[in-house]
Chains A and B, each alone.
Chain A
Amino acid sequence: MSFDKKKKIKKWLVIIILTTISIFNLYPYLFVVTGSLKPSYEIFSGLLPKKLSSLSFSNYTEAFSMKQVPFLKAFFNSLFVTGFVTLSVIFFSAITGYAIAKLKFKGRNLLLNFVVFQWIFPGTGVGFIVVFSMINKFNLMNTYTSMIIPFMMTAWGVYLFSQFFKTIPKDIIEAARIDGASEFQVIFKIMLPMSKSVAVILGIFTFMGRWNELLWDLLVVRKPEMMTLNVLISNYFLGGGGKDNIGVTFTAAVLLTMPILILFIIFRGAFTEGISIGEGLKL
């Protein structure tokens, strides 16, 4: 019996510790949300304001109405760039992966080896500087193009799709072809719907990666109205907003966090699954 008791104590101890850790993880989120609803000078007075009546959305109205710092425009810039990149990665990964997995052509193995190589070997780390000078040369600074094109494809996506498509029986494709389906229809009407989980995982992780990119966007965009939310917030923060107008900065930070949190709520299963696939991916 004492063994059972010990086990029970251990169980509760684990739950208490994990709850504490969860609170630690949650705290910065609560801090930023309550901070965005309070006047800036009350930021250090704990999570809740001294008077409930001082809770208001005034930081939000201020953040969305500032002319020199267009947070809403930046939010849409970020959404557009990230959305475009995500769809393009899924699209090109699917068609390339399909060709590798299901079609026979000369150099197929060479291509597969290149994909795997590119995925394992991260490059010299210098490539982005060369791409940046290309962007400069072709006068693409301050454009969506400069923020989208360098992120349009990933070896990881091609590899994921080619591996998954391999497991789909060939009979299904042959049957569709006999029904008169073109190769594009085979990919987008049959293969892609059957591999929804892969598409979702690839989409989510691409979205997160692009959404959080800071260095590249800092380099290629200097005009405030073309900036992504990341860049605009860091600019505003460094330009004094981090000191005098922290309520507005916090509001922008909430705006920046929202899309990924929403994705997480919708696709929680895919996130956890993606983490275990992602592990094998990087090495």
Chain B
Amino acid sequence: MLKSVIKEDNELDKKNKKSKESKTLTKKYKSFKNNFNEDQLESKSGVKYAPIAFLLILPYLLWNLIFWVYPNIMSIPITFFNWSIIGSEKQFIGLTNFIDFLLSEEFKAIITNMFKFSIIYIPAALILSMLISLMLASVENKKLKGIFSAAIILPQLSSAVAYTVVFSKIFHPNSLLSRFVSFIFNQKISWFSNPNLVLIPIATMILWKSIGYYSLLLTANITSIPKEYHEAALLEGATAWTRFWKITFPLINPTFVIIVIFSVTTFFAIFAEPYMLTAGGPMLASYAFKLEIYHQIYERLAAGKGAAVALIQGLISFSLVMMIRKILERKEVN
């Protein structure tokens, strides 16, 4: 019956194309439709629109098959082959790619660097972004708050290549900053050629870039906490410190967990900074996973070895994320 109504509508529509008429028809149709039960309509229009639906999702399906499903499935077997990207020969070598990498100097250096970097980066990122977001949330003047948030997100907008170029000069031995630090410690400082120091400028650059983003994530959450909570606590005489730990922190916990995960996984994404500044040196002191992958694929054309490195990187980062979530989620239950 519904179909006949639609047909009628369509025919009428064709006969008189005046928009006014069609509008009244739509109204008529709508009031008529309301007498029907939704399910019936769904299934009928469903049958009619199924071919179009398949047409609409086809590009997505095809693209994913070729560029997501197939590469991800293939990514496990290629790690077992000695496979040059240019040649077509593939030679099965079992776990050699993995063992080679895990026993290499590079792997040792990467893991050491990961710990060193994380010890600088994670606490600084968490504490600073927390402080900035608390301050930003306490600004009441809306215009001022807007200006500050814009200034705070600004570093996030810079491209890794661009800010690496800039920071290469900010940390240059002749720069204002280096001269200042040299003056304090009374010795010449050369950030990028000292293996003990090289991670400091790199961590600082990445901090500069990402703290603003973390802060704004937290600020959005802090401002969404109802004011009544704090007012009630104030009446009971709670200090700012206890209010933070008893009210603010538990309520922003999910966002905080996300920021912890972001900052822990930062090391796995590092590429442009050491690639441009140090090539991973001196003595592998700023080497990272992506540099090794790039080295294997681009310079040695070893797709199998590169894939093995990428897989190990993926596994470590994945298990770290799982671990963090488990630890912090348990706290939430308590």
Contacts and interface: CB of A to CB of B under 8 A. Distances in A.
A264 interface: yes
B: interface residue count bin: 35 or more
B157 A25 contact: no
A189 interface: no
B86 A136 contact: yes
Contacts of A254: 162
A250 interface: yes
B159 to A, nearest CB: 5
Judged by DSSP, the binding face of A is helix
B60 A92 contact: yes
Interface string A1-44: 00000000001001101100110111011011001000000011
B63 A153 contact: yes
Contacts of A219: 294, 297-298
Nearest to A137: B88
B273 to A, nearest CB: 10
Interface in B247-281: 255, 258, 261-262, 271-272, 275-276
A182 B68 CA distance: 31
**Leading 4 A-B pairs by shortest Cβ distance:** A104-B46, A126-B75, A22-B151, A127-B71
Contacts of A152: 63
A129 B72 contact: no
Judged by DSSP, the binding face of B is helix
A178 B26 contact: yes
A282 B275 CA distance: 26
B172 interface: yes
Interface stretch (A59-67, A192-200, A233-241): A233-241
Interface stretch (B109-117, B136-144, B180-188): B136-144
Contacts of B30: 171, 174-175
Interface stretch (B100-108, B119-127, B195-203, B303-311): B303-311
B241 interface: no
A206 interface: no
Nearest to A241: B165
B170 A31 contact: yes
B242 interface: no
Interface of B: 6, 9-10, 13, 22, 25-26, 29-30, 33, 42-43, 45-46, 49-50, 52-54, 56-57, 59-61, 63-64, 67-68, 70-72, 74-76, 78-79, 85-86, 132, 135-136, 138-139, 144, 147-155, 157-163, 165-170, 172, 174-176, 208, 212-213, 216-217, 220, 255, 258, 261-262, 271-272, 275-276, 290, 293-294, 297-298, 303, 306-307, 310-311, 313-314, 317
Contact of A261 (B157, B165, B275): B157
A103 interface: yes
Interface residues of A, number: 90
A183 to B, nearest CB: 5
Contacts of B208: 24-25, 28
B71 to A, nearest CB: 4
B26 A179 contact: yes
B46 A105 contact: yes
B23 to A, nearest CB: 9
Given A44-B174, A104-B43, A275-B217, A260 B152 contact: no
Contact of A256 (B139, B161, B293): B161
Contacts of A86: none
Given A153-B64, A219-B298, A256-B161, A104 B42 contact: yes
Interface of A: 11, 14-15, 17-18, 21-22, 24-26, 28-29, 31-32, 35, 43-44, 46, 92, 95-96, 98-100, 103-106, 108, 111, 114, 118, 122-134, 136, 149-150, 152-153, 158, 171, 174-175, 178-180, 183, 208, 211-212, 214-215, 218-219, 230, 233-234, 237-238, 242, 246, 249-250, 252-254, 256-257, 260-261, 264, 268, 271-272, 275-276, 279, 282-283
